[in-house]
Amino acid sequence: MAPKTTPDAPTVQIIQEQLPVVGDNLLDLQLFRPGTGSRLLTARLEWETPAGEQRTVEHRLQVPQGRLVRYALPYRLEEVGIHRAALRLYDPELGTPIHTVEDLRLFARPAWELLGDRSYYTVENEIRFRLRRNRRGDTTIPVTVELRRGVEVLDRVDVNMVGQEVSGAFAAYALPEGRYWLAARWLAPVGGADSLAVVCEKFAPAAREVKIDLFSQSLLVDGEPFFPIGLYWLRAKDLGSMRRLHFNSGDYFYKLRGEEVASLMDVAAVEGMQILLELTEYARRKPEPDYRAIAALVKRYRQHPALLAWYLVDEPAETKMAPASALAIYELIRELDPYHPVYLVNNRSHTYAAYSDASDILAIDVYPIPNYPITQVGDYMQQARWTLLERKPVWLIAQAFGGVEHWARSPTASELRNMIYQGLVGGAKGVFFYRYCEEHERHIQPLALWREVQRLAAELAELEPVLLQEAHSLGAQSAGGGVEVAVKEYKRDFYVFAVNVAEEPRRLDLRLAGLPPMGRAEVLYGQAEAVPTLANGRLAAELGPLGTAVFRLQMAGI
């Protein structure tokens, strides 16, 4: 949203060189007022916390005229997550606003974060860890990280943190099964010693294991990286043809019962498809979940070779399921089957936090066409990842239907592609299309849209090894108005995923600071006009309305 100003207001630029953390922060402003003399202004920062509480802080600024001045306004955040804020400049004598910046978001992380590399361990040789401080500084900080079982210290690493992150590993293969702790201590420059601890669990090896790589938020299916490319509303008869179309996952959306589910699972195992196994019918729109039926289903299928994850519930807030009930189901599943993740779909962004403890994977179903801006997909992805603080995977369920209920039309092929790429740029670690439609249902999924679904599935399958990589920090930079990017590295090449969320052409202009010298850029996927240029350490290209592209950058001399 554009700032609101009065005719004599200063020009204001908010500079966020680093994201805020829980604790004390500074909001950097640059102000310029033409003319001579100086003027006293009041700067008021107002925000709503993730818990819905209102906060305000005010500062008096003496603003000279005729030159650019930078200010740092102190404020304090007490909670992680997205704080929705506004900055207002007032004339203190008149009490009237002269400049307002609305829709300002303060993305607050913990000051320190400790993370192990797996959702659980079985045959791994190591337990790897990362300790990160989310505020830049030049001070070297002594850090100790220990592997503990109860109060017993099994191993220890001492290291000096230079920069923002330290990493290491502990031997794990010979560890007996059980619960362990990663515990970190450090001597902070201000405030004395501090510490963090996280749980890591080791189980006996199982015939079927689906883990989460917590560093990249990618799935590991029997030890192999896996990017889900799925369809809703599949039947057993569809699985072979869908696998040949590059889909690797599916869901039947609680439309099957009893032995129909058994048949689907068995055919999926033969065809090499992975299935989200539904528990929704035992919990959705019920005063109390049917825990006995859920337990029986988990026991029946927990060793099935086609089981990808347990589908706890679809849209819990929509069906008035209490977060406590969702959490109780989650804990029951984890007790009976710790080897498969629990998956939950949520369509209401303001409830992401309420249900965040009830799943290992959050899927968001965002269907904006034609009622909402297409940018809602990227906005919801951002909110989901920030709510989870990137500690759990977020998957996108994309709108591949329309002309039914309150969706007056289906997306065009270019709109669907744009939504998929918003999800990928936003960090989606899996993509499902809602839904698979047969020929007699073309009124809600036109043939052109279904063909684009198939093209995207083939594209995602080819890009799978790249999509499974962690995002490069370069992707956090702005690529220009209306264009969003993500950067990933794979086999010494760099891949730039770009999406234009505007209805008119936009120019990608990405500064490649932090990358080695690039010698060549090519378009792997995207519009014909997206011809890239490399010059002066920048990648540039034109993207048409709602355009998308994937560029591969190769290092100079290769």
Q: Are residues 147 and 218 in the same domain?
A: no
Q: What is the CATH number of the domain that holds 510?
A: 2.60.40.1180
Q: Using the 8-state DSSP alphabet, how is residue 317 labeled? A: T
Q: How far apart are CA 124 and CA 172, in angstroms?
A: 6
Strand, helix or coil for residue 95: coil
Q: How many helices (H) does the chain have, and how many strands (E)?
A: 7, 33
| 330: CATH | 3.20.20.80
pLDDT for 477 = 58
Q: Which residues pair with 390 in a beta bridge?
A: none
CA–CA gap between residue 63 and residue 52 (Å, rounded): 33
For residue 115 the two structure tokens come to 């993370």
If asked whether residues 444 and 336 sit together in one domain, one would say yes
> Are 333 and 444 members of one domain?
yes
Among the candidates 186, 202, 218, a domain finishes at 202
CA distance 171 to 179: 15
**Per DSSP, what are the bridge partners of residue 168?**
129
Q: What count of other Cβ atoms lies within 10 Å of the Cβ of residue 374?
A: 20
Residue finishing a domain among 449, 467, 485: 467
Q: Do 229 and 126 fall into the same domain?
A: no
380 and 247 in one domain? Answer: yes
- Residues 484, 461 share a domain: no
- Of residues 409, 395, 304, the one with CA closest to residue 346: 395
CATH number at residue 135: 2.60.40.10
> What integer pLDDT is reported at residue 1 of this predicted model?
46
- Of 429, 395, 468, which Cα lies nearest the Cα of 225? 468
Is residue 351 helix, strand or coil?
helix
- Asked whether residue 176 falls in the same domain as residue 281, the answer is no
Residues 151, 247 within the same domain: no
Asked whether residue 196 falls in the same domain as residue 216, the answer is no
Looking at the structure, tell me whether residues 544 and 410 fall in a common domain.
no
**Tokens standing for 247?**
């889909």
Tokens for 455, please give them.
Answer: 């093209």
For 544, residues 6+ apart whose C-beta sits below 8 A from its C-beta are 500, 505, 527, 529, 530
Instruction: Please provide the DSSP assignment of 220-266 as one string.
Output: EETTEEE--EEESS--GGGHHHHHHTT--EE--TT---THHHHHHHH
The pLDDT of residue 284 is 79
Which structural domain, as residue segments, surrounds residue 546? Answer: 473-555
Q: Are 134 and 111 in contact (CB under 8 A)?
A: yes
pTM score, whole prediction: 0.92
- Write down the pLDDT at residue 17: 75
Same domain, 360 and 455: yes
Domain edge (last residue) among 143, 171, 202: 202
Q: Which of 110, 44, 34 is nearest to 79 (CA)?
A: 110
Same domain, 433 and 544: no
Helix (H, G, I), strand (E, B) or coil at 26: strand
Q: Tens-of-pLDDT digits for all 558 residues of the chain?
A: 445 555 566 788 888 778 899 999 999 999 887 777 788 999 999 999 988 899 999 999 998 888 889 999 999 999 998 999 999 999 888 888 888 998 899 999 999 999 999 999 999 999 999 999 998 877 899 999 999 999 999 999 999 998 889 999 999 999 999 999 999 999 876 655 689 999 999 999 999 999 999 999 999 999 999 999 999 999 999 999 999 999 999 999 878 888 999 999 999 999 999 999 999 889 877 789 999 999 999 999 999 999 999 999 999 998 889 999 999 999 999 999 999 999 999 999 999 999 999 999 999 999 999 999 999 999 999 999 999 988 999 999 999 999 999 999 999 999 999 999 999 999 999 999 999 999 999 999 999 999 999 999 999 999 999 999 999 877 655 555 789 999 999 999 999 999 999 999 999 999 998 889 999 999 999 876 778 999 989 999 999 999 999 999 999 876
Q: What is the rounded distance in angstroms from the CA atom of residue 147 to the CA atom of residue 183?
A: 7
Q: Six-digit token pair at 200?
A: 């890591």
CA proximity to 382, closest of 352, 345, 413: 352
- The number of folded domains in the chain is 4
